[in-house]
Structure 1
């Protein structure tokens, strides 16, 4: 009886194992798009919704982010038959936007940046901590303008609170926190 059960088990095992076929699959391409975006077009204006890997990635350095993840030549080539003089591209994220104006050859003419709740540079945070002891940072805004690659204006607007007291600061970011103007 033992021999019969063992023989049946072995025959069943051999049958199951021999029934397995090797199937060769077709090749598949895998791509990784960490910063995928959605695009809307309205004439010569384009709006890109930026997907960030982490919160504040785009606001940290929006022009470098744009240069690394956007190719204006592809946009120009796609709309070649329309003969636009310039292209206004707006990059939107969860806490602000960058507007970039390009000429018809793809050169950057100017940009405008506007971001809310940005992290201040370390040197500026240290200076504010030492200058405004006991105050709480409530809100930050960052606005900047460039002409080409030259930074023309960069301004942080900071709101501080200490109990019932409130204070609004305007800080020229080009000076890296030197010279704080109080409103």
Structure 2
């Protein structure tokens, strides 16, 4: 029995000694995704995942600034003689279209989202002027020149029993005003 245990111990020691193989160092180079347009279609599709749900819809311009490098796109396509290019960002709830110049500088944006949560003061104003109203749907629309939002408003569909109304709520300097009934 003693010989058997000693033999197994010796076999295990020899087997582990032979299994120790030295590996050479692996070199890994990081190459970011090429942002070169397809020469036939002048089209490029890149999927940018959100880190948390609703991040894109909450602040589309900040999401674009943090996750998309327009200057790299312009640099990768400098041989294509691009004067301006449009970039589309889309989600289930809406989209953002951004127009850039040949240097990758933002010229303007256009964004539209549906089923957005209205700001608290706008909701209270709607409920104050329309006592028994129920908000049926909302849309947020905004335009910018460069990185500054130039014009933004909400379109709201409300129902008061049998009657349905459409309201437009302008937003300027973090203040809201119901502009018109549509």
TM-superposed CA distance for 1:67, in Å, is 0.9
Asked whether the equivalents of residues 36 and 73 of structure 2 are also in contact (C-alpha less than 8 Å), the reply is no
Q: Which runs of no fewer than 5 residues in structure 2 stay unpaired?
A: none
Q: What secondary structure, in the 3-state scheme, does the structure 1 residue paired with 2:104 have?
A: coil
Which of the numbers 158, 161, 179 marks the counterpart of 2:159? 161
Question: Which residue of 1 is the match for residue 101 of structure 2?
Answer: 103
CA distance in 1, matches of 2:91, 2:36: 13
Question: Which residue of 1 is the match for residue 58 of structure 2?
Answer: 60
CA distance in 2, matches of 1:119, 1:165: 22
Question: Which residue of 2 is the match for residue 88 of structure 1?
Answer: 86
Question: Which residue of 2 is the match for residue 112 of structure 1?
Answer: 110
TM-superposed CA distance for 1:146, in Å, is 0.9
Matched, 1:8 2:14: no
Asked whether the equivalents of residues 73 and 104 of structure 2 are also in contact (C-alpha less than 8 Å), the reply is no
TM-superposed CA distance for 1:60, in Å, is 0.9
Match runs of 1:5-154 below 5 Å: 8-9=4-5, 11-20=7-16, 21-23=19-21, 26-27=25-26, 42-43=41-42, 48-125=46-123, 127-128=125-126, 135-154=133-152
TM-superposed CA distance for 1:178, in Å, is 2.6
Q: What secondary structure, in the 3-state scheme, does the structure 2 residue paired with 1:173 have?
A: strand
Asked whether the equivalents of residues 157 and 168 of structure 1 are also in contact (C-alpha less than 8 Å), the reply is yes
Cα distance, 1:127–1:94 mapped onto 2, change above 3 Å: same
CA distance in 2, matches of 1:174, 1:95: 23
TM-score (norm 2): 0.74
TM-score (norm 1): 0.73
1:4-51 per-residue CA deviation (whole Å, 9 max, x = no partner) reads: 2x65345325523542334556547698x9xx9x997643x6555442
Asked whether the equivalents of residues 154 and 174 of structure 1 are also in contact (C-alpha less than 8 Å), the reply is yes
CA distance in 2, matches of 1:22, 1:144: 64
TM-superposed CA distance for 1:147, in Å, is 1.4
Q: How many residues get paired?
A: 174
CA-based RMSD of the aligned residues comes to 3.4
TM-superposed CA distance for 1:167, in Å, is 3.1
